[in-house]
Structure 1
Amino acid sequence: MRTGAAAGHVGYFHEAVLYDSDEHLLAVVVPFLLGGVAAGEPAIVGFGERNAELVRRALPAGAEVTFLPGGEVYARPTSAIRSYRKLLAGYVAQGVGQIRIVGELPPIVFGATWDWWARYESAINHAYDDFPLWSMCAYDTRRTPPPVLSDVARTHPRVARPDGSHPPSPTYTPPESYLTEPRPMVVDPVQRTAPLVELTDPSPARARAAVQAADRGHLRPEVVEDLMVAVSEMVTNALRHGTAPVRLRLWSARDRIVVTVHDRGEGPKDPYAGLLPAGDGSAGGLGLWISHQACDHVSLHREADGFTVRLTAGNPHVPV
């Protein structure tokens, strides 16, 4: 049985908390969690260290609230979706009628890697809709860049406010539309230099060899190996499902390797490609799923001249 603002709702009840003070955050989150405790529902916090401690101190002693290691949960979008779906499925197997979760993304993702986290916030409207979940995603408006807040409004159907209201977001965009919109690529600074490697219609083996040759020993061997697998998958996808020519470009910096694979096709038709497992592995969905788990950042871009996948191994959090 659903309770609170989600009473009568089927599936995922997804909200944003746009707060401008500690008091604002607590005024929304604490009643939300305690309402779950009172109803016998799992009440879970996936905050970073500071806000987790803030909430702990505001809760009454002995409140049955579970705190997750937020930094680990939000390592990559695919791992976050996989972890939460496993957690939610476990609770549903126990027969619970609703699960309440409050979470926040680490501020570092609001920079160069925000595009795939914006895709995450949109995709989970579908990915978690199998579960009786009510969640709130907290964003500090004092520190969150305006473009990020704009995406938050478009990816969260509702906003939770301190007065207990839950108005709909006027700019909310369903994921099937949001995830297929063309967006300009946020250029990594290393891409402003000449590529170390440029290949046209390379075989997957040649693409793997190019990545291996570009390694200067600054990255862990397993990171380079994962990138080799991801690049091979993306080249295979482009050759099989894209439109020739397929062009690979590679840049190498001290802390990262960046690779783009471009073809003149339209890219995958599945809006959730990469973030959710491909049901049948068709049209390159499995390769994108593998790449999203193997790399430290994956960016997808539809442009007038085709489709580009950019893969980053190493540190993706560079000033742009």
Structure 2
Amino acid sequence: MGSMITTATHATVFYDGARQYADEAGGFLREGLEQGHRGLVMAPAPRIDQLRSALGRDADEVRFVEDTVAYAPQWNIYRTLLDFAADAPEVRSCVVAEQQLRHRTPAEVHDYRRLEAAINLVFADHDVDVLCPYDAGSLPAHLLEIALHSHESLRTDGLSSRNTGYGDPTGMLAGLATVTAAPARATTLVCASPADVSSARRLVHSLGEEAGLAVDVVDDVALAVTEVLTNALLHGEPPTLLHVYDEGDTWVCHVHDGGHLPIDPLTGLLPPEEPSDHGYGLWLARQLCTAVDVGADASGTHVRLHTRTHART
């Protein structure tokens, strides 16, 4: 039987080495299983192997998903978690979630900060306990800092305590919704009506191929641009522009309209019940692109769709 707890918990653990990882994450899972909870692990393959070994026969009660699947793209972990919980809605879930952050681009890291902060809001009323391990033995300080500010509790030696570094998630999301102007070198298309969306798709395909992106990747980006641009034309204000440019390790398709509507930082973070629901375009874009930035300033609303220009190593 599941527990009577009706709110989520979101904890982190700093580990240094395989043994400490197995003790902390394995202990967390075993505690949940002993209470009748269901276990889900989304982690790199070596960590999955370590947890299987630590859990022994109990590993058969846990679903394991490699991070290369669960975090492809990063926001897919929300869908993975939701689908897992939906399989047994009356049973609480204990979840270990970790990816190889050191291989992420700056745009992806920025988006991951958003993902970690948003968990505290979008899953607040779900029957789930989430533990996010961070490798203190290898990750640089700026990545470990994400854990310090995004988790309400800290697990140490099998015990959880209040994390004094935890920040208000709403404030964190607002701080991450910054606007970056398109550079002067960007290729820009002015879109005055829905009829111009087809021209935008052609531009994305042409420039994506020039950038050396795979055809299927460009197809995904073109679909994301279609959704975001259509939304801007229907609900934003002119002028509506599509800027395309390189930025470090990512290729950016940047939709900018002149509207100044307040932006809910949670819009498009969860799958809508119907494709016509508000936020569907952003949700779809987050499933198709490496990272998505949404922000507004005096010039209007900006949605930046990032795509990796090289494969993860």
The count of corresponding residues between Structure 1 and Structure 2 is: 305
**Which residue in the other structure is 2:123 paired with?**
128
- Cα distance in 2, alignment partners of residues 74 and 159 from structure 1: 23
How far the C-alpha of 1:170 sits from its partner, in A, is 3.3
1:216 is matched with: 209
Alignment of 1:1-320 (within 5 A): 9-61=5-57, 63-66=59-62, 67-92=64-89, 95-96=90-91, 98-107=92-101, 108-109=103-104, 111-174=106-169, 176-184=170-178, 194-195=185-186, 197-202=187-192, 203-216=196-209, 218-251=212-245, 257-266=251-260, 269-278=263-272, 285-315=279-309
- Identity value in percent: 27
Q: Residues 223-258 of structure 1, C-alpha deviation per residue, up to 9 Å, x if partnerless? A: 2222222222222222333333222211369x9742
CA RMSD of aligned residues (A): 3.2
What one-letter code is carried by the residue in structure 1 that aligns with 2:147? V
Post-superposition Cα deviations, 1:40-91, rounded to whole Å, max 9, x if no partner, equal 3223322211222222233345554422223211112332211210111112
Which consecutive unaligned segments of at least 5 residues does structure 1 have?
Answer: none
> CA shift at 1:33, angstroms?
1.8
Unaligned runs of at least 5 residues, structure 2: none
More strand by share: 2
SS in 2 for 1:237: helix
TM-score by length of 2: 0.82
Q: Is the 8 A contact 2:197 2:226 kept in 1?
A: yes
The one-letter code matched in structure 1 to 2:292 is V
- Give the conservation status (yes or no) of the 8 Å contact 1:248–1:262: yes
Q: Which letter maps to 1:157? A: E
Q: Is the 8 A contact 2:177 2:293 kept in 1?
A: no
Q: Which whole-Å CA distance do the structure 2 matches of 1:267 and 1:113 have between them?
A: 26
CA distance in 2, matches of 1:146, 1:83: 28
* Greater Cα offset, 154-163 or 275-284: 275-284
- For residues 42 and 219 of structure 2, what CA distance do their matches in structure 1 show? 31
SS of 2:296's equivalent in the other structure is strand
User: Contact conserved, 1:296 with 1:316, CA < 8 A, in 2?
Assistant: no
> What TM-score, normalized by structure 1, do the two folds share?
0.81
Distance in 1 (alpha carbons) for counterparts of 2:265 and 2:107? 21
Q: 1:15: Cα distance to partner?
A: 0.7
Give 2:16's aligned amino acid. Answer: D
Supply the distance in 2 between the matched residues of 1:106 and 1:268 (Cα, whole angstroms).
34
